[in-house]
Amino acid sequence: MMPLAFARPGSLVRVIAIRGGQGVHAKLRSLGIMEGRLLRVVNLMYGGPVIVEIVNDVGPSPKVALGFGISTKIFVEEV
């Protein structure tokens, strides 16, 4: 398990846990990022923001940019 901020660009990861306050949780959830979800790390700047694709099995998968602060609160596991 590692923070999303340190994931490998191009890798597919699964969200294991989200730390942080209710506000962070709510914000991420309404975007569809929550425990159990698959994310593809599209692009990442070390110490900076990360772009992830929220993987959908049907239909297109939307992309979201997350700042460094928030992406250190999302714990993921490479699959």
Partner 1 sequence: MSIEKTRKGFVVALAGVPNSGKSSIFNKLTGGKAWVGNWPGVTIEKKVGTLRLDSVEVEVVDLPGIYGLTAYSLDEIIARNFIVEENPDLVIIVVNATNLERSLYLALSILELGANAIVALNMIDLAREQGIEIDYQKLSELLGVPVVPTVAVTGSGLQNLKKLILERAKGGKARLNIVNYGDDVENAIKKVEELLKSNVPELLKKYPSRWISIKLLEWDEDVIRKVKSYAGGDEVIREVERIRAELQNKIEDLELYMTERRYQKILEIVRSIVRQIKPKGITWTDLLDSVLTHRVLGVFSAIAVLYMLFRFAFEISTPFVDLFSLLINGYLHDWILGLKLLPPWLASLLADGIVNGVGTVLSFLPLITMFFLGLAFLEDVGYMTRIAYLVDKVFSKFGLSGKTVIPLVIGFGCNVPAVMATRAIEDENERKTAALIAPLATCSARLPVYMVIAYAIFKRAAGGVVLSMYVWSITLALLVALALRKFVFKGSSTGFVMEMPPYIMPRPDIISMKMWERTKKFLRKAGTVILIGVVFIWLLSVTGPSGFLGVNALSSPELLEHSWAGLLGRVFSETVFKPLGWDWRTSVALIFGFIAKEIVVGTMAILYGVGEKGLPATLAKLHVFTPVTGYAFMLFVLIYVPCVATMATIRSELGSRYMLFALTYELILAYLLALTVVGFGHLIGVS
Return residues touching partner 1 (CB under 8 A): 22-32, 34-36, 42-43, 45, 47-49, 51, 54, 56-60, 62-70
Taking the least distance from each CB to partner 1, the nearer of 2 and 20 is 20
Q: What angle do CA 5, 64, 76 make, to 5 degrees?
A: 35
3-state secondary structure of 21: coil
Taking the least distance from each CB to partner 1, the nearer of 2 and 51 is 51
Nearest approach in angstroms of CB 21 to partner 1 is 9
State the Cα–Cα distance between residues 50 and 28, nearest whole angstrom: 14
3-state secondary structure of 18: strand
Taking the least distance from each CB to partner 1, the nearer of 13 and 33 is 33
